[in-house]
Structure 1
């Protein structure tokens, strides 16, 4: 892949940059001569991420994506650090919430909705004037999920947020087209990130990773997501699928919706039960 060679170094702002997909995207763009700005609530994790990016064109900012006013401060600070510009923003911050809806605490539901959905809307609204200035070819990329293509047992809240994230991308793709701002979503399947090491909800003691392996699903290297984000920023596609599971679900949902429904019902006993 070629590096950017324009006189003005392009910059990217990435939420959830302390680990997982955010860290991989930060490294990928940093290695290709972009100025990388990361945001997260985890200061130590962000320092680790910055340590993996070569050169001095990098910046971090503590940000809770649920705080709309904090978004303005973070983006202004990042733009200043990057020489006055933001060319791409990756709405990546998110949490995993799983388990039967009846078993979830209200706080668990609200937290997932606030971070995964409200945070994406706040970020898009806040970054809009920055992307206007660097258009055309500026870009907003929302990290969705295969759970935003088909809902399964134990995934109601998480799927709601990821269906929403894809919907936001579709709406803004139309809304921002006159500005020359590209908008897209990334739909990964199960990715090798720290989210796999959680249980999904407070009433379960079974790791998400164990349930994924038991179901015979593949775990995709996080670097594949980073490369897909790069392609989304530089291309013109709307929805990008990452991993065999995501691509298979998308194909089956389109052409064999009845079979998908049967499979999801059959799998509910394996993947949806709390331990």
Structure 2
């Protein structure tokens, strides 16, 4: 088995996945990225110096494809996978009563089923390198609070946190750590989407409302801490951290704030 530690990152063709891939590669890790966008992955690999990098086209909704991707990466990385970053995700918003069936299914398939399939496929690889191996699941601020006009996205991200907490207990005896990443509003392609209700991007609406939008560069250090630390939930940004604390100790205040703001949360 190779001595060089390795991490497999889904959604590595852009946004958080790209930033995390570059960060870990700069610190000597063998980095594998997966995405449905071959062009995006090529751009990410072009930003990583050195030869310890790998890419694999992957639709996270395909359970069998997960096994192929992780087996291939393990071989490329010298027979070890130390961390799997279950990060690929999409978002569709709007009032639930008006949301299209295909949008609902897409969010649940990618953001929930894709994470479950990734965890299932990652298990034998992480068990092999335990203790100290880790599964990081990208949840969201939307997995901490109930956000208007993001009900399906929230349902998926709350479920991801539930899965994380369950697997943390289930895999403890195997020496595998499981944690969730809960970003607030991060400046990624997700918040550049145009809202049908306002005909503006989510980012424009957030800035107008005075809501914190953080650069993606804030995320990799938190993922690094998640790999090396031992907490269940890692937040990114002051808003996410504050609302996680309030949701635990003052849930009524959070409820009132969300009703007053009428805004959603996302990664």
Matched, 1:211 2:202: no
Aligned to 2:134: 139
- For the residues of structure 2 that align with 1:203 and 1:216, how far apart are their CA atoms? 19
CA contact (8 A) 1:15 1:90 kept: yes
Aligned to 2:93: 98
Corresponding pairs, count:
264
Aligned to 1:169: 164
Q: CA deviation at 1:256?
A: 2.3
Specify every segment of 5 or more residues in structure 2 that has no aligned partner in the other structure, as ranges: none
- For the residues of structure 1 that align with 2:117 and 2:21, how far apart are their CA atoms? 21
Matched, 1:189 2:184: yes
Alignment of 1:33-44 (within 5 A): 33-44=28-39
Q: Equivalent of 1:53, from 44, 48, 54?
A: 48
Matched, 1:250 2:244: yes
Q: CA deviation at 1:259?
A: 2.0
- For the residues of structure 2 that align with 1:77 and 1:56, how far apart are their CA atoms? 16
- For the residues of structure 2 that align with 1:203 and 1:244, how far apart are their CA atoms? 28
Q: CA RMSD in A?
A: 1.4
CA contact (8 A) 1:103 1:203 kept: no
Alignment of 1:1-275 (within 5 A): 8-199=3-194, 205-268=199-262, 271=263
SS class of match (2:160): helix
What do residues 178-206 of structure 1 show as CA deviations (whole Å, max 9, x unaligned)? 01001100101000111111125x66622
- For the residues of structure 2 that align with 1:157 and 1:107, how far apart are their CA atoms? 12
Specify every segment of 5 or more residues in structure 1 that has no aligned partner in the other structure, as ranges: 1-5
TM-score (structure 1 length as normaliser): 0.93
- For the residues of structure 2 that align with 1:84 and 1:128, how far apart are their CA atoms? 14
CA contact (8 A) 1:186 1:241 kept: yes
What do residues 160-188 of structure 1 show as CA deviations (whole Å, max 9, x unaligned)? 01101111110000000001001100101
- For the residues of structure 1 that align with 2:70 and 2:212, how far apart are their CA atoms? 36
SS class of match (2:243): helix
